[in-house]
Amino acid sequence: MTEGTLIKVGMADLNTAEGGAVIKTTGLGSCVGLTLYDPVLRIGGMAHIMLPSSDIARGDQLNVAKYADTALPELLDRLKKMGASPGRLVAKMAGGAQMFAFMGGDSMRIGPRNVEATKQMLDRFSISLIAEDTGGNYGRTVELSTGTGIFTIRSVQFGVKEI
């Protein structure tokens, strides 16, 4: 992986990047884009989290990238295997919007719940969340540059923002 490489993370998916590569996910609504970054080794990972907890999973196969409680441990494992030090990792995240305002019911408050669940997991693994851009009622595309650790957020209404 070199400077300028773009690694895409799909919905309910996760991946890692290094060597200046950029890791990106598009069209986050209620989903959360969580990144972990080791600023010394310049290794980073991103998960596109769709739901707060794997407790509600049905069916045979569990996609660990989909749930906040399983995506974070998996991302952490992968980064450790690449040499990242858990103590150095810092987290940034964006998303968790409520695109449609009128809805009652739990499934429609999924954005805030995804954010809460992700923060709980970060707490549990003692990873500090150094920046976030969550909530609101709009979609976001996010990318993390492993060269700089800069997390860029793009939205239709507000243009480009870096955290």
Partner 1 sequence: MDVLREVGNIGAGNAATALSTLLNKPVDMAVPTVSLLPFEAIADRVGGSEAVVIAIFLRVEGDAPGNMFFIINREPARRILQGLLGFAAAENDMYSELELSALNEIGNILAGSYLSSLADFTGLNMSPTVPSLAVDMAGAILSYGMLQFGTMGDDALLIDTTFLEGQQEADGQFFLIPDPESFDRLFRALGVPL
Considering the rule CB under 8 A, would residue 71 count as an interface residue with partner 1? no
**Residue selected from 2, 56, 159, 160 as contacting partner 1 according to rule CB under 8 A:** 56
Least distance to partner 1 from the beta carbon of 93, Å?
15
111 Cβ contact list (under 8 Å, min separation 6): 29, 30, 95, 96, 97, 98, 99, 134, 135
Binding mask 10-49 for partner 1 (x = CB under 8 A): xxx-------------xxxxxx------------------
Considering the rule CB under 8 A, would residue 159 count as an interface residue with partner 1? no
102 backbone φψ class: left, alpha, beta (φ>0; ψ -120 to 50): alpha
C-alpha pair distances (Å), 5 with each of 36, 47, 100: 18, 18, 35
Segments in 105-148 forming alpha helices (H):
110-124
Considering the rule CB under 8 A, would residue 156 count as an interface residue with partner 1? yes
Cα torsion angle, 111, 11, 129, 52, sign? positive
In the bound state with partner 1, the residue whose beta carbon lies nearer, of 26 and 148, is 26
**Residue span binding partner 1 (CB under 8 A) among the ranges 33-41, 57-65, 72-80, 84-92:** 57-65
Pairing of β 22-28 and β 90-95: unpaired
Does 31 participate in catalysis according to the annotation? yes
Chain residues that interact with partner 1, rule: CB under 8 A? 10-12, 26-31, 50-51, 56-59, 61, 63, 66, 97, 99-103, 107-108, 110, 137-141, 156
Catalytic residue numbers, as ranges: 31
